[in-house]
Amino acid sequence: MSIFFLKSLLSVVLLLSAVIAMYTMFEVFGRKDIKINSDKLKRLHRLNGIFYLLVFAFIAYFCINFIVVTRAELSTRSTFHSLFAVLVIVLMGIKISYIRVYRHFYNQAKMFGLIMAILTFGIVATSGGYYLLVSDFGTDPSFDKLMQYKTKVTVRKEQTIDESVRFSLKTDSESVGRGKTLFGSKCSFCHNAYSTDNIVGPGLKGILKNDKLPVSKRPASPVNILLQFTEPFNRMPSFDHLSEEEMSDILAFLNTL
């Protein structure tokens, strides 16, 4: 099972935990006449809170590790995701201090709890929810490769494929269309097609119009990009599981940038 899929499943668990937290709080404080034993509910609320924190810490470990390994500039989605997560932790700290120490603020703790639960929906939507959607509920294998970063830097700048190996670029609109879709599902996570700004890897605007490829500085030719798929330079995961057809469709799209 891919780490992203596992993380997404865990985030659904986190969401359930937030729902339980809200439900127990509403049952205890929201009703005129309490239906269920409120001591039991409070205990459930507390245990559930500890469970939430443990799952949260476990997932956060992977997220932070991902950022450290890729040294990625966060995308807009990840920025919101991290912001929600940081807010939840800060609110949790304040809420516990209100309940345990600063009892005069006790009433505000309920509102804080509600905001945390709402933020949890935001956290899950911007990560697990997104991942499950784009990976066809974890069935698209290319996402499994995302975490397989090569930690050791292997410099192979000199390695180029013999340019006499001819490669004919497809230019028909169907290939370009298929390539665009493939790019959207397999590459756009790390590459911006419409600018040269970095996401995880370099932006690929004009990639085949320049003289050199942006990182390896190999000549910007279709064959060298094919080499990038099968034996990627540096930290990019390999895409050697793509069929030749798919690779040439992606190239047809890259050629239009």
Interface stretch with ligand HEC, choices 9-17, 43-51, 60-68, 232-240 (CB under 6 A): 232-240
Single residue of 41, 226, 235, 248 touching ligand HEC by CB under 6 A: 235
User: Please, which residue, 112 or 233, has the CB nearer to ligand HEC?
Assistant: 233
Single residue of 15, 201, 223, 252 touching ligand HEC by CB under 6 A: 201
Single residue of 84, 191, 248, 249 touching ligand HEC by CB under 6 A: 191
Q: Is 234 in the site for ligand HEC (CB under 6 A)?
A: yes
CA distance 180 to 188: 10
CA distance 161 to 173: 28
Integer CA distances (angstroms), 17 to 154, 191, 256, in order: 43, 35, 47
Tokens of 63: 């997220």
User: Please, which residue, 49 or 237, has the CB nearer to ligand HEC?
Assistant: 237
CA distance 156 to 141: 27
Single residue of 21, 109, 207, 226 touching ligand HEC by CB under 6 A: 207
Q: Is 218 in the site for ligand HEC (CB under 6 A)?
A: yes
The count of residues interacting with ligand HEC (CB under 6 A) is 25
Q: Which of 175, 163, 159 is nearest to 218 (CA)?
A: 159
Least distance to ligand HEC, CB of residue 190, Å: 3
User: Please, which residue, 49 or 201, has the CB nearer to ligand HEC?
Assistant: 201
Q: Which of 127, 117, 94 is nearest to 11 (CA)?
A: 127
Instruction: Encode burial over 110-119: b for 16+ CB neighbours within 10 A, e otherwise.
Output: bebbeebbeb
Site string for ligand HEC, 161-190 (x = CB under 6 A): -------------------------xx-xx
Q: With beta carbons less than 8 A apart as the criterion, state whether 159 and 124 touch.
A: no
Q: Is 134 in the site for ligand HEC (CB under 6 A)?
A: no
Single residue of 146, 176, 226, 252 touching ligand HEC by CB under 6 A: 146
CA distance 16 to 19: 5
**Amino acid residing at 235:** R
What is the CA angle 86-15-189, rounded to 5?
65
Q: Which residues bind ligand HEC (CB under 6 A)?
A: 146, 186-187, 189-191, 200-202, 204, 207, 213-216, 218, 225, 228, 233-237, 239, 250
